[in-house]
Amino acid sequence: MATSNSKDFELDVAEYIEEAFERCGLELRSGYDLKSATRSLNLLLADWANRGLNQWTIKEKTIDMVANDNSYNIDSTNATAPIDVLDAFIRETINNETTDIPLTRLSRSEYSHITTKSTTGKPNQFFVDKQLTPSISVWPTPDKSSTYVIHLNVLTRMDDADAATNNLDIPFRFYPCLTAGLAYYMSLKRAPERIYWATVGMSVKLEFDATSNVLLIHLPADSTGDEYFDLFSGIPNNAGSGVTGDIDFTTVGHSSGDAYNIILVLNKNY
């Protein structure tokens, strides 16, 4: 049996969104659907960055030390791209001979407690200041120029999803993770539009999950039925503090042999 001998399968933004909608049992029907899903996709990428999942975006950055200057932007070409510095070493070149020495990372408090930040010498410690434009501070302050070069392994931000035709800056093994995550994000934006049910022996409460749950509907025991809410765009999730987007099912008066079957039809709540 012949195989394809190709390894170039790749989705663009529109295809990720279409797949996520299909997993929710929905169709991508409007420009707003695409805009909303693209926004969710970029928020998902930001969440991955906070978790440090994007190890494929680690870049080596170098900074030439300048005498009496102890603070530097981490990335001189895209100053807001760095997320974190994983490790660092300093390279010193004397008479064409180089020596690499690892640098010890300091916390904010440890760096703040250094009373002699102006002390000069060969840097052996560093502190990462995670502002909107991340920077690195070294100690001691360099006592030479054009001799010390700091090498940094920097976790950097992934490229945004700006257009439906964009491909994403992720390896193929993360395609399923991205699709599943986007489908989850989109499911949080849905409101119940129709409910079909059958209960035997017990009643069932459906509640919007929050710090204090909010009742969506209480389905009576030993009943079958359907409710339609699509004439007014579904029942919005009006739960307050601690709202998660989940719908909790709670049985009332359950005993052995009781059962229920519930189908929810969800649609976007604009």
Place of tokens 């928020």: 43
Q: Which helix (H) or strand (E) holds 109?
A: helix 108-112
Query: Could you tell me whether strands 58-64 and 141-142 are parallel, antiparallel, or unpaired per DSSP bridges?
Result: unpaired
The Cα 39–Cα 26 span in angstroms is 18
Query: Could you tell me whether strands 214-219 and 97-102 are parallel, antiparallel, or unpaired per DSSP bridges?
Result: unpaired
pLDDT, one tens digit per residue, over 108-145 is 999 999 999 999 999 999 999 999 999 999 999 999 88
- Gyration radius (Cα) of the chain, Å: 27
Confirm if 170 and 158 have CB atoms less than 8 A apart. Answer: yes
* 190 pLDDT higher than 70: no
The Cα 52–Cα 60 span in angstroms is 16
The Cα 115–Cα 142 span in angstroms is 16
What is the per-residue pLDDT for 227? 82
Question: Which tokens sit at 78?
Answer: 């895209």
Number of other CB atoms surrounding residue 107 within 10 Å: 10
* 55 pLDDT higher than 90: yes
Q: For residues 151-178, give the mean pLDDT.
A: 95
Query: What is the percent of the chain where pLDDT is above 70?
Result: 95
* 32 pLDDT higher than 60: yes
Across the chain, mean pLDDT equals 90
Q: For residues 179-198, give the mean pLDDT.
A: 82
What is the per-residue pLDDT for 132? 94
pTM of the model: 0.68
